[in-house]
Amino acid sequence: MTGPGTWLARHLQAALGASGRLARAPLATLFTIAVIGLALALPLGLKLFVDNARAATGDFANAVDLSIYFRLGTPIEKVRQLAERARSRPGVASVKVIPADTALAEFRKYSGFGAALDAITDNPLPHVLGIRPRAGADSTAELAKLKDYFASWPEVELVQMDIEWVHRFNAILEVLRRALAVAAVVLAFGVLAVVGNTIRLEIQNRRAEIEVTKLVGGSNAFVRRPFLYTGALYGLLGAMLALAIVFGATALLAPAVADLAAAYGSRFTLLGPGQDDTLRLLGGGALLGWIGAWGAAARHLRAIEPQA
Amino acid sequence: MIRFERVAKRYPNGREAISGVSFEVPRGEMVFLTGRSGAGKSTVLKLIALLERPTRGVVTVNGRSTGALPARKIPAFRREIGVVFQDHKLLVDRPVFDNVALPLVVADTPLREIDKRVRAALDQVGLLGKERLLPLELSIGEQQRVGIARAVITKPAVLIADEPTGNLDPELALEVMNVFRRFQEVGTTVMVATHDMHLVREFGKREIVLESGHVRDARDVHVPTIGAVAP
């Protein structure tokens, strides 16, 4: 008598019934969804902030590069020769030669001091080698050894390593990431509580129906099913609202961020939620709603037994 | 089909509703359960439908003892018993069709079959064509018959009814009781709790009389059709 088709039809019916009931009380539904949406929008927004901060600051957030500044007047041929020597050094992944002319051209282009630079006849900038340490050879001790090695060359004026700054920046990002995790967990519990309470009220309102259903042989699973769908639907709709909020906020902020980036000579554009984030939020929202409803149903449905 | 062996039921408030109740209703028989209000009629029916479990003694329905049945098997047990209530317990916000279909829906019956059987059940109680009406749009007698259609739609082996004619005038009461008799005639075991002695006499079926929680006697108003009569 029961086949997979019937099973599917029952679940479809429960899902449709749940959506119908939500639609019949639009105001109450809207409030519940708004609360869930705000609770989910917050961690998503925070995650986007961290992602964007990392994207905006680019590679140097992770890689520790050394900049080798040569004494003014060092011929570029000598610099290229030393670059070759640096390349053969173990622990070095790549070496980039930045001649003084190139550096000046870039500085002129991006700094906004073009007019002031025109007043200077000689190029005040030195030749520079950008050294990227090999992955695995970038511990503090090894970097210090590398730095000492380059500093010992007589042509070198200064070896700069922005390791402190990189550490601090990474630490800030790490704090934000943890804050994000904590906020996500706390707000997930908030969603569970909201859905659970809403479902509890719904169960109370439909007490007579539940009693009669059990009376004619409805199992706990059968009685529970529509409430689980209702919960999942709340979560899903809340997640959709959260996405709408975050996409809206991204769209509002994007022009201002683009202006800011342009002022720093960057082509960085604000990233919205990616496909992965979107799917994860929708799935997570629905799952939270389902779990919240399950908790409420498990507690309150058992207590309702038919009375003749 | 229904057997009570020295059954007692004490409620949490300490009141002992019945004690030492023994009787047997063989398959396919129709019996009346009579007695004053408070004599324990409702308790007997609740014990049969497994809305309550016995405090002492053994209640056997459909060959299964209700005392030991695990909770997860109760739904399947209830699907084999049709119950009709005095206040009919219909869902007033659902049309007649949905009310009657409910026992099939909870049993995962295919939709096509549900449609067919709901119409058949409504036809049996004379309500065909009223599927889309809400219960409150029907008369009291019609509401009661919707309750009966819901109770019999699963073709239960046992049909029990608690004062099904309590709110009806004599003519409607007779009509409803005739519906029960028709089910008995096709092999259903029927037990009707009532205090309408006039109807009981008119129908000439066996009567189990409860008096302050005990069975007074199981006198036969009429020779039972099938099976032996328990002491």
Find all residues with CB under 8 Å of B186, minimum gap 6, and list them.
none
Query: How far apart are alpha carbons A258 and A149 in whole angstroms?
Result: 41
What is the signed CA dihedral for B183, B186, B190, B192, rounded to 10 degrees?
Answer: 30
* Cβ count near A24 (within 10 Å): 9
Which residues from A are below 8 Å from B107, CB to CB? 1, 217
User: Does an H or E element contain B7, and which?
Assistant: strand B2-10
Q: With an 8 Å Cβ cutoff, are B51 and A307 in contact?
A: yes
> pLDDT band at residue A168, thresholds of 50, 70 and 90?
confident
Q: With an 8 Å Cβ cutoff, are B89 and A9 in contact?
A: no
Nearest CB to B51 within list A218, A222, A306: A306
pLDDT tens by residue, A120-139: 777 888 888 888 887 666 66
**pLDDT value, residue B226:** 47
**pLDDT value, residue B117:** 94
Check CB contact of B107 with chain A, cutoff 8 Å.
yes
Q: Write out the CATH class of domain B1-80+158-168+187-222.
A: alpha beta
Query: How far apart are alpha carbons B59 and A30 in whole angstroms?
Result: 50
Check CB contact of A205 with chain B, cutoff 8 Å.
no
- B160 beta partners: B83, B191
Mutate to test the interface with B, among A1, A214, A216, A223 (most CBs of B within 10 A): A216
Q: With an 8 Å Cβ cutoff, are B42 and A307 in contact?
A: no
Q: Where are the domains of chain A?
A: 4-59+167-301, 65-161
pLDDT tens by residue, A81-99: 888 888 888 888 888 888 8
A65-161 topology per CATH: Alpha-Beta Plaits (3.30.70)
DSSP letter, residue B94: S
Contact A41, A246 (CB under 8 A): yes
- Per-residue pLDDT tens digits of chain B, which is 231 residues long: 899 999 999 988 888 889 889 999 999 999 999 988 888 888 999 999 988 899 999 999 988 888 888 888 899 999 999 999 888 889 998 999 999 999 999 888 888 899 999 999 999 888 998 999 999 999 888 898 999 999 999 989 999 999 888 777 888 888 888 889 999 999 999 999 998 888 888 888 899 998 888 888 655 444 444 444 444
Query: How far apart are alpha carbons A118 and A105 in whole angstroms?
Result: 11
ipTM for the assembly? 0.83
pLDDT tens by residue, A175-207: 988 988 999 999 999 999 999 999 999 999 888
Residues 42-101 of B with CB under 8 A from A: 42, 45-46, 49, 51, 72, 75-79, 83, 85, 89-91
Q: Where are the domains of chain B?
A: 1-80+158-168+187-222, 87-155
Tokens standing for A270? 């604000």
Query: How far apart are alpha carbons A181 and B78 in whole angstroms?
Result: 48
Mutate to test the interface with A, among B72, B80, B108 (most CBs of A within 10 A): B108
Query: How far apart are alpha carbons A85 and A74 in whole angstroms?
Result: 16
Q: At what angle do helices A4-24 and A220-263 cross, to 10 degrees?
A: 60
Query: How far apart are alpha carbons A73 and B166 in whole angstroms?
Result: 114
